[in-house]
Chains A and B, each alone.
Chain A
Amino acid sequence: MNIIVCVKQVSIITTRSGIDPATNRLLPGELVHTLNPHDEAAVEEALVIREKNGGTVTVLTFGPPRAEEALRWCLAMGADEAIHVVEEASPDRSPFAVSNVLAEVIRGLEYDLIMFGKLAIDAEMGQTGTFVAEWLDLPVVTSVVRVELHPGERRAILHRSLGKGDREVVECCLPAVFTMDMQMNRPRYPTLGGRRMAERREIRTICLKKEVEALPFPERIPAVEILRMTPPKIRPKKILAPDENESAAGRMQWILSGGVARKKGGCITGDAGRLAEGIMNYLVEKNFITRSR
């Protein structure tokens, strides 16, 4: 089973102070970069599948030269190959443009499965994987939290997260595109051997200018255009004030408690027998159970 995992190095905001007044964008110096956690979960899942079924795991990214760090991390985790489509200056490309580039590269590769993170935690668009599936004419399943592969029958059963604990179980034929949710697993932490392997491995780089610019789509049809950016509105800070109807002592107590509201309902105290009795009474009172006579 050959799996391609598309990853992104995301920029994490560490401060709100450094906004460039001219563009309203965050100052580059205020950012730190790391592998998108949803993508990392996808890499982990791919490695688990490879351990079970054999094959290879190839990681693919499209981004500035520094994105190599994210690929090295994936290699240290155990990925077999890495491909980096390099773009020197990095304007924020729309998912539409990115998906075109990725699809073009993937067309030249052999694969049974393509994985993405369900979204990148910086831009939070969550579209790239779906677009790639469209360009490659493949089925796509998003927000996957569990994968049961049946490689012999070339199909997979997938659990999708619908939020609030709801799951949707779907079946999908292969090859396909899955976008993974980070809650599905706990990615491995690279060992020293893995790190060394990552240091030695060669990363195949594709220069965007030379090779991909000749493609029909990328930037010429911008699907989305950013009109303007504004700094976040400063929201008034909520200050909790004690209830005026309380007595002075009551207000002091409220402040000292740190404003923690007292829970409604009673509190049962006493020894074990009394506690059990209290709980029983409560359950009976609320009609959860009925007392047998």
Chain B
Amino acid sequence: MELFLASLTQALDPVVLLLIVLATALGAIIGALPGFSSVMAISLLLPVVYPMDPLLGLILLGSIYMGAMYGDANAAILLNIPGTASALPTTFDGFPMTLQGRAYEALLAALCGSVFGGAFGVLVLMLSFSWLAKLSLLFGPQEYFWLTRLGLTTIAALSSDNVIKGLLGGGLGMCISLIGLDPYWGNPRLTFGQPSLVAGVNLIPALLGLFCVAQVFISLEDRSRYIATTYERRSSALKIIFQTMLRRWDVMLRSSFIGVFIGILPGAGGPIASTISYNETRRWDRQPERYGKGAVEGVFASEVANNSMVGGSLIPMMALGIPGNVNAAVILGALLSFGLKPGTDLMNQSSGIAYAFMAGLLVSSLVLAPLGYFVIIRLATLILKIPKSLLAPTILVFASVGAYSITNSLYAVVIMITFGVAGFFLRKVGIEAAPIGLGLILGPIAEREFTSSLLIAQANGSLLSIVWRPISAVLALLCLISILTPLWTARKNKKAAAAAASGALADGS
């Protein structure tokens, strides 16, 4: 407790606090730009932090990471553009809320969810990081494979209106993600002799095309002057959001635990955390049909998990030296360059720095609340006041430069335009962008883990080892339940509708 209070005092030093505020704001702004990721934001400031005091440098990087994980929600809600893959589930309900004139409510939900999730994740990191890191070692490729499958089952839940088209979209995304080098032999596959396809289809330009460019085309169909015809900024919105958070404490806690848990698993990361959290929230809700149409709980589920994952992803990095994701890997690089060794050394010899860094992250997650409420949301909602005639071309240019900056190659822009045009026509025939995006994001992870599982199974002499492990079996069962629940609900609703129709006919006769 004394160590915690001492660390908190260090983090609340005026200079450190100012640094946290600036870094969190910078992260939130960079995260909100299409094509910019938290990795880019952190990497950008690496040269700046090297000459700094180790604690200040680490807090700066951590705060940017925290801010960027929140920032991407703004573009996802207002423009249907997921700044990063983790924010994809935020678009499912966030953008419909914008179209319904409830953008302010959605942005507040994302902010409150991010603050809650971020603080929760860091508190877990502070209290239990050594034993949680050991827990993460229980997960092998088989468990990761089933975890990714669980994320993919969201497709079935999202497409209850047309399950075949939803699954087809998911399959299409997974097929596209197969293009490039196979993870087993390293041979090019499905490239049709095109050297440019050997590196595969880059995820961010593809997502920018599917969500951003296609959305611009869709928005041009509607001749209204602005994106959202109504925008209400009710003073009672914050009170309503707090009440919803208290009423739906189950959503907040479940999403936080999912975020932390997925975060501690090396290689899993934000997209899986937010997708599984969204899927589970929808599955446990009494009215799952509300999701995808503007349910505020959907925004909470995605954003809480997204941000609680930040603390979780730093657990294996600090305790074992295994980065949970690319962001944690960059921070690990900074940690090593400061001469700090992760693991027991970090906790024993440099425990002051370790705890002060965690306290800094906690302060950063809390700083997000006033920063988001007074600055970021006000700035972000200005977008809704820009006429579509000016906004649509500007979005296209920003998306293009965002795609280009990923690889510094115009090939990325070509991918973005191709996915944009194809995405528009596919949406017209009922194949939505969300399942394709999920397939693209989770497909490569599923393949990597499946290939490793297959190798282990071959070495063991039994393919059953892919399923027949305690955690794998539970995850496989959850996958099955997750697929069957929406199908069963759709069947039940269909029967109820048929019964109601026949009842009405009988009454009429």
Q: Do A and B associate with each other?
A: no
